[in-house]
Structure 1
Amino acid sequence: MKYDFIIAGGGIVGLATGLRILEARPGTKLLLLEKEDSLGRHQTGHNSGVLHAGLYYKPGSLKAKLAVEGLRQMVSFCQAHKVSHEQCGKIVVATEPDELPRLEKLMERGVANGLKGLRRLSPEEIREIEPHAAGLAAIHVPEEGIVDYAGVVEAMAKEIRNLGGEIRAGERVERLKEAGGIWRVETPHGAYETKQVVACAGLHSDRIVSRSGMKPSAKIMPFRGEYYM
């Protein structure tokens, strides 16, 4: 079968990419392939569900821009599709005097990154927001929040199908071959042809590129984060 676009990866990046393509180009023939039996099984389904505001990122950096714009677009999507979310805000607390200058720098970064409603908190104001927290000072970041990313995946997949896109789970991209401007994408269940392949396979995106015979411009180095309670 022939498509205009094939997306490799059924996490939130692959789904969001497919959705944006279909919204921008009505009538596009698009196929999204996911190697697992269901969508969102990797990073998308194994995270803390935070709507991250990008307070810590260097102003002007791509990470800062994507964090702020991505948060607001995600909130808009959740509102439009009735996905469970809450902009409950967060507080960043300084508990020692030597942390106060760093807290002020974070405030400056947040303002430079365009975050709305940032404010400094006194010890009393900290306890008003979170009675179990204590510190010398804090920053309140009201745009930060939490979201049901499984709900986001379900809503995005539904919208892709509504716009005429196809989603096939349980199909691992094994080989990619290009000839005459057309890509042949091979999976255990068959082969597909497309004009464009978009690798959205998370930590495996560089491997997808390698299977095409091209050398990836960057190599992904995975790191696992841990929470200590």
Structure 2
Amino acid sequence: MSQHNQRTGRSFAVIGAGINGAAVAREITRRHPDAAVTIFEKADRVAAHQSGHNSGVVHAGLYYEPGSLKARLCRRGVTLLRDYAEANDLPFDECGKIVVALQQDEEERLRAIFERAVANGVPDVELIGPEQIREIEPNSVGRLALYSPHTAITDYAAIARSFVEDVRNSGGTVRLNSEVVDIKVRPHGCTITSTDNSDRRGGTSEREESFDFVIACAGLQSDRVAKLAGGASHPTIVPFFGQYSQLAPEHRTILNGLVYPVPDPAYPFLGVHLTKRVDGEMLVGPNAFLSFGRENYAGWKFGVKDSLRVAATPAFWKFAAGNVKAAVHEFAAVLSRKKFLSGAAEYVPSLRGAVSKPITRGIRAQAMDADGGLIDDFVIEQQGRATLIRNAPSPGATSSMAIAEHILDVVTDAHGLDSSSQTTAQKDD
């Protein structure tokens, strides 16, 4: 069994090298510079999952309940992320966004979003009419729009890699190809068992190590990792894929920023929108449908174990029974890219007949409660010295640095930590 005596401070294990795990590990090194920090990641690279399969939008905080944790962390996260990107020469483009009402019945919902945005402190938001829509986005149409000039785009995978490099530069350890297969919570720490999956011939070796604290940021595997530590059975993760299409090169400059629909309460997800990427490509998407595999990014692999687990989850069937209309709507877009693009052409008419190609899909780690309800806020569970991030929904990537601050506050409050180099074990003794 390996102990962490090479440094004088506490020892922390962080499970997951997505943007949230990387941000948490970085925040630990900032608050506890003498701590030994180890990141475990079962993939062979940083940001291999949700953090590396998204549109790169930095959300401004338009939609969230004023005063909620999501709203507060989003607004704080935007500021931290922008400053970090600028300081480290990482892409961050405040291209702006309009949320467009096409029908009269959408206008009331849009005004409610505007009121939330103002209450959340989103800077410079305004409601604009058709003429102003044309001034901001000459190729877009609509009756009324909410304009958020500071909504931005970035490269979350690049930011996650930079966070990890900060951890390494602070003396931290990053274990790629290292899957956590067991967590034992002890009175004064945790023991982690991990496997080394780097042997491409299929061989694995186990390693057992003790840490003062464990923080799990496991995304698509968050419920499984939580159960290793004795966590609750819910929320459980049901994966939904989102497929984006990349427009042909002649459409790269069709928009100056982002164009979104007004969210429809009849559907659990946001709906198809147009998103500019930091590399200049223009995307349309995503649709949203059940993924047959938590990491089935290609779309053609059938994850038998994952699919059987979803099928055996009563909560999923409760959710499905209440969302038949939405499922039919989304499945039509999955089957036909033409239908998929026609939705975007309602907002940008010149896209009718546009050529596009599908790109690697993203998979959303949708947390679901025992009654089949979709959980829309952050869920953090404490199991002794293990802190388990059970749900970090959108705007999780936008909020990553603020989430890291919040998680360290939670751990500090729960265990009475300070930033001294004295180990927790020494305090307990």
AA partner of residue 218 (structure 1): P
Aligned mates of 1:62, 1:180 — CA distance in 2: 30
The aligned amino acid for 2:61 is: G
**Aligned sequence identity (%):** 38
Please give the secondary structure, in 1, of the residue aligned with 2:175. Answer: strand
Shift of 1:91: 0.5
Match for residue 161 of structure 1?
168
CA deviation after TM superposition for structure 1 residue 95, in Å: 1.6
What secondary structure sits across from 2:236 in the alignment?
A: coil
1:62 deviation in Å?
A: 1.5
Output aligned runs, 1:70-109, within 5 Å.
70-109=77-116
C-alpha separation in 1, matches of 2:45 and 2:238 = 25
Aligned to 1:130: 137
Structure 1 counterpart of 2:237: 220
Which residue in the other structure is 2:3 paired with?
A: 2
- Residues in 2 aligned to 1:56 and 1:10: alpha-carbon distance in whole angstroms: 28
Give the deviation of 1:180 after TM superposition. 4.3
Cα RMSD, aligned residues only: 1.6
**Which 10-residue stretch deviates more, 192-201 or 148-157?**
148-157
Separation in structure 2 between the aligned mates of residue 217 and residue 19 of structure 1, nearest angstrom: 28
Could you say which residue in structure 1 is the equivalent of 2:255? none
Q: Which stretches in structure 1 are left out of the alignment for 5+ residues? A: none
TM-score, normalization: structure 2?
A: 0.51
Task: Judge which range, 37-46 or 59-68, deviates more.
Answer: 59-68
Q: Tell me which of the two structures has the higher relative contact order, counting C-alpha pairs closer than 8 angstroms and 6 or more residues apart.
A: 1
Q: State which drifts further: 63-72 or 216-225.
A: 216-225
What secondary structure, in the 3-state scheme, does the structure 2 residue paired with 1:39 have?
coil
Counterpart CA distance in 2 for 1:154 and 1:212 is 27
Contact 1:12 1:40 (C-alpha < 8 Å) held by counterparts: yes
- Secondary structure at the counterpart of residue 175 of structure 1: strand
Q: Does the residue aligned with 2:43 lie in a helix, a strand or coil?
A: coil
The runs of at least 4 consecutive aligned structure 1 residues that moved more than 4 Å come to none
Aligned length: 229
Is the contact between residue 57 and residue 153 of structure 2 (CA under 8 Å) also seen in structure 1?
A: yes
Q: Give the greater-gyration-radius structure (CA).
A: 2
Return the letter of the residue paired with 2:159: V
The Cα of 1:217 is off from its aligned counterpart by: 5.9
The answer to whether residue 60 in structure 2 is matched with residue 60 in structure 1 is: no
Candidates 17, 24, 46, aligned match of 1:17:
24
How far, CA to CA, are the matches of 2:231 and 2:135 in structure 1? 56
Matched residues in 2 for 1:196 and 1:216: separation? Answer: 22
Deviations 1:129-173 (A, max 9, x none): 111111122111112111011210221111111111111100000
Q: Secondary structure of the residue that 2:241 maps to in structure 1?
A: coil
**Structure 2: distance between partners of 1:136 and 1:213:** 52
Cα deviation code 1:15-57 (max 9, x no counterpart):
0000011101111100001000111111001111110122111
Question: What does residue 218 of structure 2 align with?
Answer: 201
Which of 147, 152, 157 aligns to 2:154? It is: 147
Instruction: Name the SS of the counterpart of 2:237 in structure 1.
Output: coil
User: Taking structure 1 as the reference length, what is the TM-score of the superposition?
Assistant: 0.94
| Aligned residue in 2 for 1:32 | 39
Identify the residue that residue 115 of structure 1 maps to in structure 2.
122
Q: Does 1:44 align with 2:51?
A: yes
The Cα of 1:215 is off from its aligned counterpart by: 3.1
